[in-house]
Chain A
Amino acid sequence: MLAGILNKKYSRPTWEECSLTATPADQSDDLILVQRIAARGEDALRELYGVYGQRLYAYALRITEVPAIAEDVVQDTLIVVWQSVCRFRGEGRLLAWLLGIVHHTAMKALRHSPQLITDAIETTLATDDPTPEEKLQSQEQIQWVRQGMKSLSPDHRAVLELIFYQGLSLSEAATVCDCPLGTIKSRLNYARKHLRGILNRQEEAK
């Protein structure tokens, strides 16, 4: 049974298969892409968005929860990339570097519009339609995870997103969030306890 779960886990569509965008390039292709952007290649910037745009937008949306703000965050991120791409030396993954810029830009955007976020979350909660994938899963399970995710702080949601969707290691997540590895672990632990608490309360209520 366990092997079944693991097989299911590893045979799930990867991000590359899920998205409609191009396949993320390997590290040497990333460096070439970076050099083309540094040489002011507009097509290279479009290509970068084609490769990583979906991930960057998903991450921005996970933190801000407001599509309009997430779009601004990604746009500002691309401007930073255009102006500061020569700072990327290829010491880590390009994705982690990009997510770091998204993270800081999104957190700054959140600090500037806390009220807007709160209102938007309420709207999102009220109007979210289930996707086809969700319909295949247990409705109850989706409900508690979704509710739990919404009630977490942006910092905790960011860590879960980086680990589970963006496929970053714990140390890469620490770099993106600009915090120690221990903080990432403690945020994961808090998120686990928080979500488990919601699950347990729901089970007790039955």
Chain B
Amino acid sequence: MNAHEYYKERLLLLAVGQLSAEESSKLQKHLEGCPSCRAEFDFWISLSDEITASNAAVLAPADIPERTLAQIRKDASPSFRANFLRTYNLMHAQAYLVKRELWPAAAALMLLGVIVAWLSGHTEFLSFLAPLVAAASLAAIAGPQNDPASELTFTTPTSPWRIMLARLTVVAGYNLLLALVGSLILLPAIPFEFFGNLILSWLGPLAFLSALALLLSLWIGTSNAITITYALWIVQYLHVPQLSQSWPALKAWDSFLAYFRQFWQSPTILLVLAVVTIFLALVSTQLSKYSLKSVLN
């Protein structure tokens, strides 16, 4: 870049007074002998004058602070109906921001699981599949890679954690509904008294695994969250009795697996852990890189 080009690039900064005294002086000397740069400088000055002049005619309405405070007070003490409507509207709006593919994909996978369970006579296949589908769905509801409008979303007056809670409720509710419908379809294939057991077999794992997927997706991204939660879920099935008979060292693994499977079959513990994990995820939303601070600063 020659001196002329260098000076030409800095004319804008001279016009808006953002150059040091020394640089301004150098540039002024250059301008005296360079008609091209002088024309450019005059152009920026004209533009600056026009913008300043047009803004001088603008007068901000004086009542905006009072209107804002009235709105803030109204939002702070809403009626039950207003609260309900606001919650509904928030959830309705967030449902549109979740990836569209998520809805049919989750339904198709769950349907496939029901068909396989029905045809094979192994209704527990639904209990295996439902937590995996739910975990993948919840891992894909946050972050710019899943929601291109996330930056704008988090600059709205609604707190990031409320937005996340609304999205989480919609998607988790959908997953729960799918698993419930799947179980009902399988009802003719099992004795009626086992229906409760079938529900409990997927309810706890579904809640905890999907909550964990959400938390991990906020911390380390969607793909990593899915990989880790899937590994945690699938590893309980890596039980090969023949190998442990041949290799005594694998007995420790077998006893670990027994405890691990017991953990996944404890609905109460899993539901409590799910609540704690969701709480951590909502706190993380406030602190994560998707918060307003990082968007604006």
Contacts and interface: CB of A to CB of B under 8 A. Distances in A.
* A and B associate in one complex: yes
Interface string B41-70: 111111111111111111111001101110
B296 interface: yes
A18 interface: yes
Given A10-B17, A53-B64, A169-B18, A104 B155 contact: yes
Contact of B291 (A6, A15, A87): A87
Residues of B contacting A: mostly: helix
B69, B291, B297: which has the most chain A beta carbons within 10 Å? Answer: B297
Contacts of B122: none
Contacts of A71: 61, 64
B151 interface: yes
Interface in B1-56: 12, 15-18, 24, 28, 31-32, 38, 41-56
Given A46-B65, A49-B64, A133-B53, A83 B28 contact: no
B296 A160 contact: no
A64 B133 CA distance: 43
A12 B155 CA distance: 35
Interface string A99-115: 01100110110000000
B71 interface: yes
Interface string A23-63: 00000000000000000001001100100011011100110
A115 to B, nearest CB: 20
B32 A2 contact: yes
A20 B295 contact: no
- Counting contact residues on chain A (CB < 8 A from B), the size range is 35 or more
B71 A178 contact: no
- Counting contact residues on chain B (CB < 8 A from A), the size range is 35 or more
B60 A165 contact: no
B156 interface: yes
Contacts of B50: 137, 141-142, 145-146, 149
B45 A5 contact: yes
A21 B61 CA distance: 12
A146 B16 CA distance: 19
Contacts of B48: 9, 164
A134 B53 contact: yes
A18 B56 contact: yes
Given A61-B58, A101-B296, A160-B47, A75 B71 contact: yes
A2 to B, nearest CB: 6
B293 interface: yes
A125 interface: no
B43 A196 contact: yes
A115 B28 CA distance: 46
Interface in A63-121: 71, 74-76, 78-80, 82-84, 87, 89, 91-92, 97, 100-101, 104-105, 107-108
A9 B65 contact: no
B119 interface: no
A104 B295 contact: yes
Nearest to A80: B157
Given A108-B152, A195-B47, A45 B16 contact: no
A89 B156 CA distance: 19
Given A9-B15, A83-B159, A145 B60 contact: no
B12 A188 contact: yes
Contacts of B41: 5
A164 B53 contact: no
B72 A82 contact: yes
Interface of B: 12, 15-18, 24, 28, 31-32, 38, 41-61, 64-65, 67-69, 71-72, 75, 151-152, 155-157, 159, 291-293, 295-297
Which 4 pairs between the two chains have the least Cβ-Cβ distance? A57-B60, A104-B155, A145-B50, A100-B296
Given A42-B69, A74-B60, A164-B16, 11 more contacts: A3-B28, A9-B15, A45-B69, A82-B72, A84-B159, A84-B292, A97-B296, A100-B297, A137-B49, A163-B16, A195-B47
27 contacts: A2-B38, A18-B56, A21-B60, A42-B69, A53-B60, A54-B58, A57-B64, A58-B60, A76-B156, A80-B155, A80-B292, A83-B159, A84-B292, A87-B291, A87-B293, A100-B295, A100-B296, A104-B151, A104-B152, A104-B295, A133-B57, A134-B54, A145-B46, A146-B50, A149-B50, A175-B296, A199-B43
